[in-house]
Structure 1
């Protein structure tokens, strides 16, 4: 089906319906992963980074493969790097509207979150270097940069898994507890699924993930068509509209995790998803048949990567400092993230 041949109104309608499917299925994912993490003892940070982050990255995978295969390398690249910035902003918005008066990072003192964030910054820096230099070496149509980024992602998972089991330090001072309402919601959720086996939980998780993947495919195709029909361009549409729609699973799962009081899982979901987004440059490279994907990206794409490093650093600062103060009902770190995001997009639009 060629979506460009459809009217803008039809594409916008399909885009909205697909985005709703992605949102609805995403709200189910964090609940299933929270139960699975408790039953298996995997840990919230690792489960959030690997399992939940992997599932919520399915729309990005669908978008990336679809856009790359159709030759829209700019849309694929800016969606991945723009999604990194967008999803950190998601944390800030949830901090502002769900946890009124208390910073989200006050409730997330796990050292493993810092490890995930540090690994993510390193991966974004590598992606920025790849955008700046272009592809240096390729074999059988596969460039060295995407392979290096995927290897860095796999290595980071191994480091995070080992570190969460044996952290080298623990935070001191008072450890803030989730509000009673969050604990009550979580208890009610676990009681609801108490008679459901772990295998059945895994099956429900797989079904929700499939719905997210299918919705993500239609978001990608209609987003590409809307970019062409409106004349806004693949760069800005990829970094904003498509990145927002494919970030809906992260929004819904993070929202659900925070409501349950699973704050570390919420943060790990976003940081883990962002790490996987950088690794998705490898499937993008495989799907893109017009050369090396990093050679097709414009230098301005590096600006979005730099924004990703800045906003991730701001959240790591928040986790380290764990300030109790709030600005406009959100943490100081979240406020800074939203300011940087708004200013950064304004600058990017002019590039």
Structure 2
């Protein structure tokens, strides 16, 4: 489909419809994964990082493949690293509008989330190094950096899985309980799906994931066309408009998870999605036909990665400290994340 031949009004309409489909399907995913984690004993943090993070990354996959195949390497790169920053900011927004006066990190006492965050910071640092250095060498059209990042992602998931199964330490002090309304919603959710088999649950999850992928494809394709038609540029559109639209599954699933009390899964979903964002440089490399993907991405994109590391570190601080302190109705860590995000994106737009 050549969306560039459409009028900008039609592209904006298709973009909006695709984003709505992504949102609607994304709200279902967290419920299915939460039930699957409870039934299989997989663990909310690992299930959120691997299953939910993988499913909600499908729009990023569609965006990456579509943009790279069409030669829009800058759009693909800024969407991936810009998405890391955007999705950490999602946690702050959820903190403001859903919990209303109680920090989100107060209800996430799992040490496995700290492990997931540390793994993410390492992956983003490697990706930023790749952007600055450019490709070192390629073999059969595939560079060493994308392969290394993908392998590092797989290793990080293995570390998180092993650690959650046998954590070396547990948090001390009072473990805050979620609000009564969240527990009630979670219980009602469990009762509503009590007669639904696990096989049917997996089928429903697959359908919702496919809907997210389809919606993500249209968001990516029209986003690239809008960048060309408006003259804004792939870098700005990729780091804002497309990154926001492809983050809709994370917004909807995180909102849904927090609403019914799966706080650790909500945080793990964001951390897991961001880790997978880095791994998606490999399909970007495979589908990009004009050379190495890291040679085509501007060095300024590494700034997005650095901001992603800072905001991830701020949330790890909040999870580790777990203080019941708020500022303007949100956790202090969430306030700091939003401040860094706004300031960081303002600086990036001037680069």
Same topology, TM > 0.5:
yes
Q: Which residue pairs with 1:233 in the alignment?
A: 233
Structure 2 residue aligned with 1:126: 126
Q: Distance in 2 between matches of 1:184 and 1:318?
A: 26
Following the alignment from structure 1 to structure 2, what is the Cα–Cα distance between the partners of residues 218 and 128?
Answer: 28
Give SS of 2:195's match.
Answer: coil
Q: Hey, what does 1:304 align to over in structure 2?
A: 304
Q: Partner of 2:292 in structure 1?
A: 292
Work out the number of aligned pairs and report it: 351
Query: Which residues of structure 1 form unaligned runs of 5+?
Result: none
Q: What per-residue deviation string (whole Å, max 9, x for no partner) do you get for residues 25-77 of structure 1?
A: 00000000011000000000000000000000000000000000000000000
CA distance in 2 between partners of 1:323 and 1:285 (Å): 43
1:317 aligned residue: 317
- Write out aligned runs for 1:54-133 (5 A): 54-133=54-133
2:99 & 2:76 partners in 1: Cα distance? 33
Q: Which position in structure 1 is the counterpart of 2:143? A: 143
- Residue 5 (structure 2) aligns with: 5
The 5-angstrom pairing of residues 251-262 of structure 1 reads 251-262=251-262
- The CA deviation string for residues 101-130 of structure 1, in whole angstroms up to 9 with x for no partner, is 110001001010000000000000000100
Q: State the Cα distance separating 1:271 from its structure 2 match.
A: 0.2
Structure 1 residue 190: Cα displacement: 1.1
Please, what TM-score do these two structures have when normalized by structure 2?
1.00
- Residue 341 of structure 1 deviates from its aligned partner by 0.5
Q: Distance in 2 between matches of 1:131 and 1:25?
A: 33
Q: Separation in 1 of the partners of 2:228 and 2:159?
A: 42
Deviation at 1:137, TM superposition (A): 1.2
Aligned equivalents of 2:318, 2:137: Cα separation in 1: 39
Instruction: Give the whole-Å Cα distance in 1 for the aligned partners of 2:255 and 2:217.
Output: 23
* Counterpart position of 1:188: 188
Aligned to 2:339: 339
Partner of 2:221: 221
User: Any residues of structure 2 matched to 1:39-54 within 5 Å, and which?
Assistant: 39-54=39-54
Matches within 5 A, 1:27-42: 27-42=27-42
Cα distance in 2 for partners of 1:277, 1:66 equals: 15
Deviation at 1:330, TM superposition (A): 0.5
Q: CA RMSD in A?
A: 0.4
Return the offset for 1:189: 1.0
CA distance in 2, matches of 1:159, 1:350: 38
| SS of alignment partner, residue 291 of structure 1 | coil
The CA distance in 2 between the partners of 1:15 and 1:101, in whole Å, is 34
